[in-house]
Homo-oligomer: A and B are copies of this chain.
Amino acid sequence: MPTLSFTCDYNEGAHPLILQRLAETNLVQEAGYGYDSFTQSAREKIRAAVGIPTAEVYFLTGGTQTNATVIDALLKGYEGVIAARTGHIAVHEAGAIEFCGHKVLTLPSHDGKIDPGELEQYILEFYADETWPHMVCPGMVYLSFPTEYGTLYTKAELERIWDICQKFKYRLFIDGARLGYGLASDACDMTLPELARLCDAFYIGGTKVGALCGEAVVFPRKAPEHFFTTVKQHGALLAKGRLTGIQFDALFTDGLYFEISRNAILRAMEIKKLFQQAGIPLYIDSPTNQQFPILDSRQMEKLDGKVLFEIWERLADGRCVTRFATSWATTEEQVEALAQLL
């Protein structure tokens, strides 16, 4: 295996400060299930970062699990969730939402995003159809920020979607598996507190942003009743809650989460520039940590065996849309090595 890999943002372990904190606290005896002091501390720090002292914060283990648990908790039994056709819940979660009994209602994807106008149109047409009580009622809009294609909603777009949700009493949930990389992007025109006010729930991704595992679910207003029990019911409750508590406590100490996210963005922009300089077209103009160069067979061969990346889509003309992802762990040396190869 080549020693250079840009296949994804979960290729390494955890940020060294996290490992250090795990080691330092290792033999402290603490209560289980998130009642430990580390988790309490992490909660407080996240509330501060979000700017909402009363926000409710829960720690789960992974992204699919978090999506399924939160969506199921926020939906009524007969409701479905609206998502972009390319949304993670619609494609790559093995039907975890349907497993909970809910249909994923898809809208067209615009570089991974749903269009607020199309969303409103969809809803208006839904209720205009007299047969709607025979269909799955939408009850939520699901967005990913950044999207699966690395793109970002603007604040204006998010406000518009939030307004639509308010109008129709739909909940708005933001999948922030890569939230740090979105907030750290130069293209992002929102702060974390601003984003938090424009949804009913979101999560701050840890697994892809420096942690071994873990996602911090934030309910800016109020968590669903007995959410702790729902988390357990979905098999998402860690006995050693300290594992996620310590990690998020470290990530939200002295702005570590934002700092390491910024590293991923800087490295991604360097890579983007490398491709542009090499005359390699980009499939999407992504401002975050995922870049999608379109490589022809000659270029693919050249890189083969020297650097790992993901093949995103094979085009009809034989070229490949590829994905190069950076992360908190990507070094300038790794980017330099890629530069040499191009």
The interface of chain A, by Cβ under 8 A from chain B, is 3-5, 7-8, 10-14, 16, 19, 22-23, 25-33, 61-69, 72-73, 76-78, 80, 91-96, 98-99, 101-104, 130-131, 133-137, 207-208, 212-213, 225-226, 228-230, 232-240, 242-243, 308, 311, 329
Contact = CB atoms under 8 A, between A and B. Distances in A.
Given A78-B233, A94-B230, A134-B229, 15 more contacts: A4-B29, A12-B27, A13-B242, A27-B329, A63-B239, A65-B235, A66-B235, A69-B235, A76-B225, A78-B230, A91-B135, A94-B229, A133-B226, A137-B229, A207-B238
A99 B239 contact: no
Contacts of A61: 61-62, 213, 238
Q: Which of A33, A137, A236, A239 has the most CB of B within 10 A?
A: A239
B239 A62 contact: yes
Q: How many copies does the complex hold?
A: 4
A27 B80 CA distance: 38
A2 to B, nearest CB: 9
A8 B329 CA distance: 36
A83 B238 CA distance: 23
B68 A77 contact: no
How would you classify the secondary structure of chain A's contact residues: helix, strand, loop or mixed? loop
B64 A243 contact: no
A213 B211 CA distance: 14
A212 B77 contact: no
Nearest 5 pairs of A and B residues by beta carbon: A65-B235, A13-B26, A94-B232, A95-B136, A94-B233
A313 B140 CA distance: 26
Contacts of A14: 22, 26
B3 A29 contact: yes
A329 B29 CA distance: 10
Contacts of A78: 94-95, 226, 229-230, 233
Contacts of A329: 27
Contacts of A212: 22, 240, 243
